[in-house]
Chain A
């Protein structure tokens, strides 16, 4: 894992060098890099997240949780552990995901009131994550192979790509457009269009900071352009290459969240 991590750094350095030079012209390659930049920083990582969910009347709800992530393979299978701390009715709820590239993800939810380890069927991943405008799929990432990608513009700062789902029944959009930062490869804005041709959903990155050498999103917003609702998201206490053992991502952590690994980094 360590070696792979160094390799990625080297590749990233090469890529950022090339960003100042000739732009990439292969859409699949850009998407591959963007997927790595957005979801695979380091061999593993942790972040604390808080979300403010606002409806059209500006009534607000709040969620706060810690996410631990471990990559089994860069661009490939991953594991996520999400431990909720707020609000009080979801406090202690733990969500475990084994993300697979060649099969459906395995997902478990621990409900502390019942001491119940509930398994969640694969189903539609483009549904609300804990009541937010974020989707389950936004948490762990959409597979690059689920869409076809075309470069529609290359500006000084961004690659602009249009993506169309391979199987239109797997998504509620007919296409989406991303603005990918040419330097960091982070998708900075994503706009979704529905079958009626109407723009209905926007994901925007508001701030990016660097942690352990990785450009990282620290604030973002998802807007539902039809209802006027939105979810604002902030990320703090970010750290990469923590060295999580595999055992952190097992049923053990559902009942007993791993205190040592959930502790905030000293930075």
Chain B
């Protein structure tokens, strides 16, 4: 909260409307360096106390985004920095979301080196072959969707050819997800048999070439249909494994997958699969290491009415060697189901010339009997001011399921943004 006065530092000149038809405005693009960004204040609070987390607030952000881009010679240098104060964690922060150099090597190859956000795959808020880092703390606490994707230090090389395009991302140092540590949200621990908030730090793999991440995508569009094949070598992105001394860590993992996206009837159809090969536990007998998995996704999205879009997805997480898992598990009653089914639904309604966007994203798992609702209302008052109100609501039947473990994290949030 202490940093809110920051907002009053915005020079009042910024609020003055430009002469919108000033002919010099056309020159913007070619002259000098353009600095853009926003100032944002966000507040979120849980509906009920979490006995394990002292702070009832889930979001107390004051952030200043600074963006720019330079084009020295044939290079493009991008910059995106977030700086501000996080009142929940009581700390100032400065996060670099993008600091990368892009250039074209030869005629058909694009290279991007540095800190950057990367995305691929066809799922909507479900990720199978997209094994780039995600920030679930931000996602659950009501920050902008943009923050679900965490940046990573990587080299991306994309080669385009008439046959097939090749996308290769090398992340020399493993970039894990921003997982739940217990600082902001408590989570279920099978060892404790209930929720815990340990504020732990997982053991990261030692830095070496072999412990880097290698992600490959082959993709091509033929007659409106998008096809892709994926391969990945790295680690599970969540600390789901334990060391022999029972410290949480990341198990080695390779993934192989495929996806398709194409128009079908009135909308778009997508399908994706991925096989997660748990390299340290191929037999599924080691209780300290996650088993291999098969993940499947099918989705359909269409505009049901003017300005009203509906998206449906079915997703399956199939844990392989399940008998071995149960036979060796010290607390098998808390192991996830062999097949975790998930259905998602996104409803989006835009009104008033896109000034008002009302949406509801629902995750529902019939096998876990739990759900996660993300209602949101966004109002874009002007090119400068916007407001978002929303919620993250978790519920279900049993304590250990994926969404219901976050029951006490259910929250509502409000964000104001001034863009410049």
Contact = CB atoms under 8 A, between A and B. Distances in A.
Contact of B146 (A98, A104, A106, A114): A114
A119 interface: yes
B268 A119 contact: yes
Interface residues of A, number: 50
Contacts of B419: 87-89
A80 to B, nearest CB: 16
A115 interface: yes
A248 B302 CA distance: 28
A60 interface: yes
Which of A86, A121, A250, A264 has most chain B Cβ within 10 Å? A121
Contacts of B354: 128, 130-131
B149 A115 contact: yes
A127 B36 contact: no
Given A116-B119, A256-B102, A131 B25 contact: no
Interface string A244-267: 000100111001100100001000
A237 B76 CA distance: 23
Interface string B266-302: 1110000000000000000000000000000000011
B158 interface: yes
Interface stretch (B26-34, B238-246, B358-366): B26-34
A232 to B, nearest CB: 8
B17 interface: yes
Given A115-B119, A115-B149, A259-B71, A124 B382 contact: no
Given A88-B36, A89-B38, A122 B380 contact: no
A113 interface: yes
A61 interface: yes
Contacts of A128: 350, 353-354
B261 A124 contact: no
A39 to B, nearest CB: 21
Contacts of A237: 26
Given A89-B38, A91-B36, A121 B302 contact: yes
Contacts of B190: none
17 contacts: A48-B29, A87-B384, A88-B36, A88-B37, A89-B38, A89-B383, A114-B117, A115-B116, A116-B119, A119-B261, A121-B266, A122-B303, A123-B309, A126-B306, A131-B353, A234-B21, A252-B160
B261 A131 contact: no
A205 interface: no
B110 interface: yes
Interface in A105-142: 106, 113-117, 119, 121-124, 126-128, 130-133
Contacts of A52: 20-21
